[in-house]
Chains A and B, each alone.
Chain A
Amino acid sequence: MAQYAILIYTHDSAHAPDATPDDLETCDRHSDELAASGSMVMAYALTPRDMATSVRADAITDGPFLDSKEVVAGFYVIEAPDLDAALAIAGSNPVVRDGGGVEVRPVHSAWTAPQ
Chain B
Amino acid sequence: MTDAAAVEAAVTDAHRRDWAWVLAATVRVARDLDLAEDCVQEAYAAALRTWASAGIPDNPAAWLTTTARRRAIDDLRRDASLRSRLPLLVEPSGALDEAAARERQQQREHAEAEEDALRAAAPDERLRLIFICCHPALAQEAQVALTLRLVCGVAVSDIARAFLVSEPTMAARITRAKKKISTARIPYRIPSPGELPDRLRGALAVIHLLFTTGHTAPSGASLVRADLVDRAMRLARMLRELMPASSDVHGLYALLLVTDARRATRVDADGRLVRLADQDRSRWDRGALAEAHDVIVGCLQAGPPGRYALQAAIASLYAEAPTYEETDWPQIVALYDRLTVVWPSPIVALNRAVPLAMVAGPEVALAEVERLERDGRLSGYQYLPAIKADLLSRLGRAGEAADAYRQALALAANEAERAFLTGQLDGLLWADGSLAVGGAGVGDNRRHRRDEERDHGHDHRREDREAPDQGPGRHDQDQADAHQGEVGPPPGGQAERAGLALPAARRRRGAARRRAVMRFLRHPPHAEPPSLPGVLYPRWPLPRRSRPSRPG
Query: Which residues of A does B touch, CB under 8 Å?
Result: 2, 81-84, 87, 104, 106
Q: Which residues of A contact B187 (CB under 8 A)?
A: 81-84
Q: Give 15 pairs: A residue, B residue, CB < 8 Å, sorted on A.
A: A2-B185, A81-B89, A81-B185, A82-B89, A82-B186, A83-B184, A83-B185, A84-B186, A84-B187, A84-B191, A84-B195, A87-B137, A106-B183, A106-B184, A106-B185
In the assembled complex, the CB of B201 is this many whole angstroms from the nearest CB of chain A, namely 16
Q: Which residues of B contact A2 (CB under 8 A)?
A: 185
Contacts of B185 in A (CB 8 A): 2, 81-83, 106
- A81–B137 Cα gap in the complex (Å)? 16
Q: How far is the CB of B388 from chain A (nearest CB, A)?
A: 34
Q: Nearest B residue to A80 by beta-carbon distance?
A: B185
Q: Supply 7 further A-B pairs (C-beta < 8 A) apart from A82-B91, A82-B186.
A: A2-B185, A81-B187, A82-B187, A84-B186, A84-B191, A84-B195, A106-B183
| A106: chain B residues within 8 A (beta carbon) | 183-185
**Chain A contact residues: over half helix, strand or loop, or mixed?**
mixed
Contact residues in B for A81 (Cβ distance below 8 Å):
89, 185, 187
What residues of B have a CB within 8 angstroms of the CB of A82 in the complex?
89, 91, 185-187
Contact with A along B537-552 (1 / 0, CB 8 A): 0000000000000000
* A106–B184 alpha-carbon span in the complex (Å): 6
In Å, the complex CA distance between A53 and B232 comes to 51
Return A84 CB to nearest CB of chain B, in Å.
6
Distance A82 CA – B195 CA, assembled complex (angstroms) = 14
Complex CA–CA separation, A2 to B184 (angstroms): 9
In the assembly, what is the distance between CA of A7 and CA of B441, in Å?
A: 55
Which chain A residues border B191 with CB–CB below 8 Å?
A: 84
Closest to A4 in B: B184
Whole-angstrom distance between the alpha carbons of A74 and B39 in the complex? 45
Closest A residue to B187 using CB positions: A82
Q: Contact flags (1/0) for B174-191 with A, using CB distance below 8 Å?
A: 000000000111110001
Interface residues of B in 310-332 (CB under 8 A from A): none
The 9 closest A-B pairs by CB, nearest first: A82-B187, A82-B185, A83-B184, A106-B184, A83-B186, A82-B89, A83-B185, A2-B185, A106-B183
Minimum CB distance partner of A2 in chain B = B185
Most B CB contacts (10 A, CB to CB) among A81, A84, A87 go to A84
The answer for the CA separation of A84 and B184 in the assembled complex, in Å, is 9
A102, chain B: closest CB distance, angstroms: 13
Which of B89, B135, B184, B191 has the most chain A CB atoms closer than 10 A to its own CB? B184
What residue of chain B has the Cβ atom nearest to residue A87's Cβ?
B137
CB distance from A41 to the nearest CB of B (A): 16
**How distant is the Cα of A109 from the Cα of B91 in the complex, in angstroms?**
25
Query: Which of chain A's residues have a CB closer than 8 A to the CB of B195?
Result: 84
Within 8 A of A (CB), among B81-99: 89, 91
